[in-house]
Amino acid sequence: MSSAVMIDDFAKRVKAEDAGLISAWIGIPDPLFVNHLAQEAFDAVVLDMQHGMWDMTSAANGIAQGRLAGKPVVARIPVGEFATASRLLDAGAAGIIAPMINSVADAEALVKATKYPPVGERSWGPTLAMNHSGFSGSDYLATANEKTLSIAMIETRVALDAADEILRVDGLDGVFIGPSDLSIALSNGAKLAPDTADMDAVLKHLVARCRAHGKFACVFGSNGERAGALLKMGFQFVIAGADTQQLRAGAASAIAAARSVQKR
């Protein structure tokens, strides 16, 4: 599959029931991190602007590095920053993940900012997106609602209770489950437990609700092994750990190997 096809058909690939896509997750605000991780066999890259340090300029450059490396780049916006979502799509992002979507009104606000009429009210100005794709203005307008993804995060008790109503929102493509925040919420702040049997039951329920509504399901996996288990569970798009975790794990492994040889 060519890199152009991989990027331009990304939305179709995510929506396939057996997609099984694995994405990098980057909070370190350096576009070169995108280039490096995009050389690996990740299907996509997510820029975390909620808890990571990305600003608009570095994110736009990160999106460009992803395109250069042949991988689609999705961005998680800060809570409620729907105007930022529109700007990221203009910069060529393949999709937007919006945190703390707790209601139909929240989901509708996301769609309003990220989809063109008649579905939403996204304002016109996708200069970089057209540069990256090679589409004319008319072609981009005709395909953008289908090719760029609007993804709502479900990570609170309120959102879990409202999941069916959120999933019915027209123009919302899928949901992204945040197991860490959800585990905190469901335990009333007592524990951080994203990888437990209790959480697995919640995750399986949400995958089933996504299937029922014809929407795709994404989730954060704490590491590669957990990501594989989540793919088996039915999620179509998973994270296999964050950049800082992978960076430090690689460093720790190299140091341990060096000390091991030194002591022989």
Catalytic residues: 51
Between the alpha carbon of residue 86 and those of residues 80, 93, 98, 111, 122, the distances in Å are 12, 9, 12, 10, 7
- C-alpha to C-alpha distance for 167 and 207, rounded to whole angstroms: 11
Cis peptide before 118 (omega within 30 of 0): yes
Residue 151 in contact with residue 176, Cβ under 8 Å? yes
Return the closest-CA partner of residue 165 out of 231, 215, 97: 215
- C-alpha to C-alpha distance for 194 and 238, rounded to whole angstroms: 14
Which DSSP symbol is given to 124? S
Cα 34 from chain centroid? Answer: 14
Which DSSP symbol is given to 123? P
Residue 38 in contact with residue 24, Cβ under 8 Å? yes
- C-alpha to C-alpha distance for 3 and 27, rounded to whole angstroms: 24
Interior angle at CA 105, CA 155 and CA 19, nearest 5: 50
